[in-house]
Amino acid sequence: MPLNVFYAWQGGSDGALCRTLIRDALERAGRELGRELALHEPGRDALARLPAQAAAGRGFSAAIANRIREADLFLADLTLAGPGRAPDPNVLFEYGYALHALGEQRTIAVMNDAFGGPDQLPADLQLRRPPIAYTAADASAKEAAARARQQAGVMLAGRLQMALKAVVTQFPEVGGGDALAHQPMETADGFGSLVAPGGFLCIRHNLLRSTERRVVRLRTGPYLYLRLVPRFVQRELSYAEAQRIAMSRLPPLSATRVAALPALGRNEDGVVSFAPAEGDADVAESAVALFLSREIWGIDFRFLRRDLPGRAHGLNTPYVPTGAVEEILLDGFIDFVEAARGPLGLTLPLRVEAGLHGIRDYTLAIRKDRYAEPFAGHIFKDHIVHKTTLERWDADPFAVLRPLFDAIYDAGGLERPDERVAGKRQR
C-alpha cells in the first residue's frame, strides 16, 4: 500500500523555489526509499476560484481536516513569504491540526531559508523540532540558477528520505508496512541484569572530575529490576536525545527514597542514569538504562543488600523490605511510562517485566500492624519474575504490578494484605 502524505504547500513564493521543488524532492525521496507515495494537497487552487460563502458552505476546512487525519504523514512548507515574512496562514492552520491529529513524530516541516531561517519563525514553532532547511533563491531560467535548484532538490530529497525512513521505522503500521519486531536486550546474567553484576556499566559523563574514575561498575548481590520493552522497531535515538530524556525523565530506580544526586554515563548501547554506592563513587547501586533502541531497564541493589540494617529488631537474616520494594517499582513504572508516552514516542502495546533476583533464604519485612512480627516467612526461590503487556497508557500502575507483589509474599509463605499501595510519585 502507498504511504499517504498530505503536503501543505504555500503559495506566497515562486513555485520553482518551493511548491514544485519540494514536491519533486519528496517524490524522489519515496523512490529512493522504495516506497510508493500517494500525495494529497489542500486544493487551494480550486478554493481560490470559489466565492467565500460557497467555500464555507462546502465545508472546505472540515474536508482538509479529514484528509489530514487519514494521512500517514504530514509535510508542511514553513517558508517565510509575503510582505510580513511569515509562513502561509493556511499552512500554519493545517500544520497545527496535523500536530494534534498525527503527533509530532509523523509531521515533517521544511523551509527555504533563502527567505529567512528557523530563528525567524513564530516563537512557539521555534520550540519545536526545526524544519529541514534548503536554499534556493533564483527562480530564473538561467543555467546556473537551474543547476542550483537541482542541487537544492537533491539535497532536500536526501534529508526527506531520512525523515520518511524514521517515520516508517517508528510507525511500521503506516502505509500497510509490516511491523518489525523489536529484539529486546539480552540479560547479562540470565535473569534480570542489564550487565553482569560487578561488570562494566558505563563511562561517566563528566570526565573532568579528577577524583572520580571514568569507568563505573555495577554492584554485586541481590537486586530488583524493571523493564519496559517496545514491541516494534523504532528509529534509534541519538546519544544527545537519550541523554536529554534520561536526565529529565529517568532518575535511578530508588531515587524517590534516597536523597542522592544522580550521575550520568554512556555505554555502546545507550545512556545510564545511576546513583553511586555510598562510599564508592565508582560503583552504581541503583540505575536506569535508556537504550538507543528506546528500551528502558532499571535495576536496584540498595534495598536488597544482605547487610541491610535489621539488627534493631534482633534480625541477622537478610530480608526483602516489601513496602520499599513496592514503592520503588511503582515509582519506576510511572517514570518509565511517562517517558515512553512522552519524549520517547513509543506505541502500544509494550512489554513489562519486573522481578527480584538472588533472594533465596531471605525473609520478608512486613507491616507489624498486619502480622504479629515485623519479619516473617522464608524464601526458597532464588528469583521472582512477573511479565505482562501494557495495553493502555492510563493503566493503573498498582494493578499492573500487583501480581508480582502477591508473588513476593507467596514466596515467603504469606498472603499479601488486600490493600492498595501508592508510590511516592502518586502521593
Task: For residue 311, name the pLDDT band (cuts at 50, 70, 90).
Answer: very low
Of 55-64, 236-245, 390-399, the least confident: 55-64
Mean pLDDT across the stretch 281-304?
A: 95
pLDDT tens-place string over residues 351-376: 999 999 999 999 999 876 666 678 88
CATH of domain 3-176: 3.40.50.10350
Mean pLDDT across the stretch 157-183?
A: 75
Contact by Cβ (8 Å): 245, 264: no
Q: For residue 225, list its beta bridge partners.
A: 299, 355
Residue 51 in this model has a pLDDT that exceeds 60 = no
- Give pTM, 2 decimals: 0.60
Contacts of 335 (CB under 8 A, 6+ apart): 249, 250, 251, 288, 425
The residue extents of the domains of the chain are: 3-176, 200-426
Give the model's pLDDT for residue 60.
Answer: 57
- Cα 150 to Cα 135: distance, rounded to the nearest angstrom: 11
Task: For residue 287, name the pLDDT band (cuts at 50, 70, 90).
Answer: very high
Task: For residue 315, name the pLDDT band (cuts at 50, 70, 90).
Answer: low
pLDDT tens-place string over residues 2-37: 889 999 999 888 899 999 999 999 999 998 888 889
Give the model's pLDDT for residue 53.
Answer: 45
Q: For residue 328, which amino acid is it?
A: I
